[in-house]
Structure 1
Amino acid sequence: MRLGQTSIIYVISKFAISVIGFLATVYFTRTLGVEIYGFYAITLALVSWLGVVKSVGFGDAIVKRMSEDEEPDAYLAAGTTIKGILTTVVAVGVLIFQEQVNSYVGQPVAEFVVLLLIVSIFSGLISSALKGTHRVHVYAPLSTLKEAGRSVAMVALVFAGWGLSGMLFGHAIGTAVMATIGLWIVRPSIVRPQWRHVVRLFDFAKFSWLGSMRKKTFSEADILILGLFVPAGLTGIYAVAYSLSKFLEIFGSAIQKTLFPEMSKRSAQDDLDMIATLTNDALTFAGLFLIPGIVGSAILGDRLMLVYGPGFDIGHWILVILLVGLTVYTYTKQLLNTLNAIDRPDLAFRANGAFIVTNIVLNVVLVYSIGWFGAAIATASSTAIGFVLSLYYVRKFIDTHLPYSEIGRQSIAAISMGVVVYVARQLGETNLGWVDDFNVVFVLLLVSLGAAVYFTILLVISRRFRTTVTNNLPFDVPFVPT
């Protein structure tokens, strides 16, 4: 299977996940209110950060060592043992300090935190095994089913009147069921790992653990800090804006996850030329959806947020700022992906460390001084430091460059799209009396129009995009010259 087609499978799967998650979130915010959703977001952020402590980079280490095709089951067994011990320590700590945990979140959730920690280690191990054995095309659809299972369980329990407890318990149930299916697909052999397997995992994890913290810092540090300084309602709106922005990161994430096993394998063969080619391809298309997303959110962000319920439109510019940060962050991830693939996690460690420290310090200072907008500004600002350092380190080993011309073409197509959508919105709001009563329909029409305009223009002005589309579709596209 070509890497482009694998990415397409991943994108379709993640798109389905996003749609399912979007619909479920709309149900929760409209049924339970923004404050309860805020408690839910803070709880998951806490679980996620505690998950870094219980994993300390061994998830990425398992993917790396298994992808090298040497004793994959032994490395999986070693990783399972290590993560199991660490999870036990963290879970006991949560139970000991459950009063403080409940006080921070604002709800009695300590037992759910422990349950979610246990479920997350199981799910994380299966995900690592699938990615490490080059089954990204299996991992992606399974992730879709996991999101669907979680959403169904959560909605059912909330409908039954369980409220926040239903959301948290449903999240755990859906995750556990899909991880069990993944275990059946992987079917690892039961082997007894040797000490050298643990050592090799540690050699990678001692640097890559900061990569896990980088992911959590970008996605959850602001939520955790907001939980200290602002009401749960505003935290809930911020979390909704973040989840909406992540919808547009799908393609960049697909590129990263698809290319890592391949680049890791090429690194073992000392094929740096191919790694350079793959890195340049990743940078070319990382912002394919995010660049138009920034323009679209600036024009439609208020109406997009209103889909979640009255009052959510105050998160309009939070959404725009987060998308700017997410765009830079996505380019950074491609570069860090390359550093890890060529077995230089020490350099990724330095870039991640600079980003994490800057992000946390700016979050605390800006949230305390100017409120919830400070979290978005801090997150967007700190991504620039990680990007510059990552690019500097990658250029030490491979010939890579920023694809200014392709990014420029994507920007031209996005701005052109923005003009069309802005005009269409003004005409609709002026001449169509139903748009306020049927906001969802109006937003869907404008988003569809924008997507059609953007990709049509990009196909016309970008030869590389035309060639990539043609090469990775299973059929020929008429009237599209390459």
Structure 2
Amino acid sequence: MRLGQTSIIHFASRLLSSVLGFVATIFIARLLGPETLGIYYLVLSTVAWLGIGVKMGIPEAINKRVSEGEDEAAYAIAGGTVVVSLFLVMSLLILLFSGWINDYIGYPASEVIILFLFVNLAKSVVNAILSGQHLVHVLGVFSPIRTGTRSIVQIGAILGGFKITGLFFGYTVGYALVSVAGLWIVVRRFKEIQTPSVDHYRRLLSYAEYSWLGEIRSRAFNWVDVAVLGFFVSSSLVGIYTAAWNIAVFLILFGGSLSQTMFPEMSSLSAEEDAQSVTDLFETALTYGGLILIPGLIGGTLLGERLLRIYGEEFTQGATVLSVLIVATLIQGYQRQFTTTLDAIDRPDVSFRVNAVFIGANVILNVSLIPTFEVVGAAAATAASVAISLVVAYFSLSSLIEFSVPLGEIGKQWAAAVVMGGVVYTGLWLESAYISVGNNIVVVLTLVGFGAAVYFGTLFAISSYFRTTVEQNIPVDFPAV
């Protein structure tokens, strides 16, 4: 029950964060247009990729070692010194190649990239320690604080006439705020401050030598398509694509909350050699990995054009892209549970191979499809590559632990989503044929809210497993159904 409540708190926090970010992106898109939005996301994409060379899997290693419950401060300090050293080297390289970087982005942003790298690095290390200390719910609460602060500062700066500079300033303020607050919390929870030994560095690096590819895998899922699109299409199309991507990623939040909540628990149980409990947690994660994504796929396909119209009329050409990207996030929702479990049972070497397959397939497919099919090709490449890696992950984990895929519960989620889809489709037909509300945002919010109520109501009625989960995790007694 505690894990369920932690997941819900983390998910609710990230949901609020995404809503804030979604609203802010709409304002930014309407005020500055898709070209400026495209430049901003190219900067973020560059930071994401260069950040791999700064982190090198160290935050994941900090999370793993701290979660084991011994010498927490020593591992945190060891990891911090390593990533700061890598950051200094990367900053020098960015300054040396600033001309090339600025030409690619189409804006003089090399100094901004260094600043973004630093605040990202600080947030990643602090988040890793919080997660390792089993404070995933606190980590989740920081997400809307970061996004809300960033959004308020960005919009205020844009209205003040600072344009893209305002976007950069708001981003920095949001990340810096939660990094400082998180550091204050983790330091207070250390039992004692220890100077790291050579063994602490060795154990960190032994895990990081495999986990760094997980960082690349995460960046590849989010940013390979954007990075390659930057070479072949206009900034406006990049802006349209990232608007669709923001909606699709919105749906993966619950699966991400599950994996983040489960990892420290699985890691602790694995250290105690409690294999059956690890398996039980993994099967639970699989059961609910698509809880939001399955109805999201059906609803997003039906409402895709209207959702994108919120950003502006020119963004509606990304409707097909949105549907394909939601498929990609649905597959990713399940794949992430597999790789999280592999990492938790201290097999980052196997997770490394799974991630290598995804990255190779993603790069090859993006480079092959984008020149011909542009943004649709980018979305298709992401979906296909994550599907390939899911198959590899399934066979890799099944060779290490015994588990069963909860097909019955997943099937009930699909059934409830189909019922919801019928209701949403009927609502769209009635609005276009008879009611004609006229206000697109009102129509979208009404159908999304009503559709969600139908979905969860139907699932609650047909799934005793879901009813039990709900009853165990909220302080309300339901009558027998």
TM-score range, shorter chain: over 0.9
| Aligned partner of 2:290 among 287, 292, 300 | 287
| Paired position in structure 2 for 1:439 | 440
Match of 2:224 among 221, 226, 239: 221
Q: How many residues align?
A: 478
Q: Which residue does 1:309 correspond to in 2?
A: 312
**C-alpha distance in 2, partners of 1:255/1:68?**
19
Does the 8 Å contact 2:210/2:349 carry over to 1?
Answer: yes
2:153 maps to a residue whose letter is A
Structure 1 segments of 4+ aligned residues over 6 angstroms from their partners: none
- In structure 2, the residue matched to 1:250 is 253
The aligned residue for residue 9 of structure 1 is 9
Q: The residue matched to 2:252 in structure 1 has which SS?
A: helix
- The corresponding residue for 1:156 is 156
Pairs within 5 Å for 1:10-25:
10-25=10-25
Helix, strand or coil at the partner of 2:386: helix
Q: 1:405 maps to which residue?
A: 408
Partner of 1:34: 34
The 3-state SS of whatever aligns with 1:33 is: helix
Correspondence 1:118 to 2:118: yes
Q: Deviations over 1:247-287 (max 9, x none)?
A: 11111011100000000000001000000000000000000
Q: What is the distance in 2 between the residues matched to 1:359 and 1:233?
A: 23
Partner amino acid for 1:155?
A: I
Q: CA deviation at 1:475?
A: 2.4
C-alpha contact (below 8 Å) 1:149/1:178 kept by paired residues: no
C-alpha RMSD of the superposition: 1.0
The letter for the 2-side match of 1:56 is: M
Does the CA contact (< 8 Å) of 2:251 and 2:329 recur in 1?
no
Pairs within 5 Å for 1:382-397: 382-397=385-400
Letter paired with 1:90: M
Cα contact 1:466–1:480 (8 A) shared by 2: no
> In structure 2, how many angstroms separate the alpha carbons of the residues matched to 1:16 and 1:75?
32
1:215 is displaced (CA, Å) by 0.5
Asked if the contact 1:112/1:169 (under 8 Å) is kept, the reply is no
Superposition pairs of residues 54-133 of structure 1, within 5 angstroms: 54-133=54-133
Letter in 1 for 2:358: F
What is the TM-score normalised by the length of structure 1? 0.98
1:69 partner SS: coil
Decide whether aligned partners of structure 1 residues 259 and 172 sit closer, same or farther in structure 2, where only a CA change above 3 A counts.
Answer: same
Residue 174 of structure 2: aligned partner:
174
| Contact 1:38–1:235 (CA under 8 A) maintained in structure 2 | yes
Within a 5 Å distance, the mapping from 1:334-373 to structure 2 comes to 334-373=337-376
1:190 Cα shift? 4.5
CA distance, structure 2, for counterparts of residue 407 and residue 325 of structure 1: 17
Tell me, which stretches of 5 or more residues in structure 2 are unaligned?
none
Please say if 1:196 is aligned against 2:218. no
Paired with 1:398 and 1:144, the residues of 2 have a C-alpha distance of 36
CA distance in structure 2 between the aligned counterparts of 1:175 and 1:131, rounded to whole angstroms: 17
* Distance in structure 2 (CA, Å) of the matches to 1:330 and 1:52: 22
**Cα deviation, residue 167, structure 1:** 0.3
Letter of the structure 2 residue corresponding to residue 455 of structure 1: F
Mapped contact 1:358–1:382 kept (Cα < 8 A): yes
- Indicate how the Cα distance of structure 1 residues 272 and 312 shifts in structure 2: closer, same or farther if over 3 A, else same: same
TM-score normalised by L of structure 2: 0.98
Matches of 2:337 and 2:180 in 1, distance apart? 30
* Letter matched to residue 231 of structure 1: S
Deviations 1:304-355 (A, max 9, x none): 0000111111111111100101111110110101100000000000000000
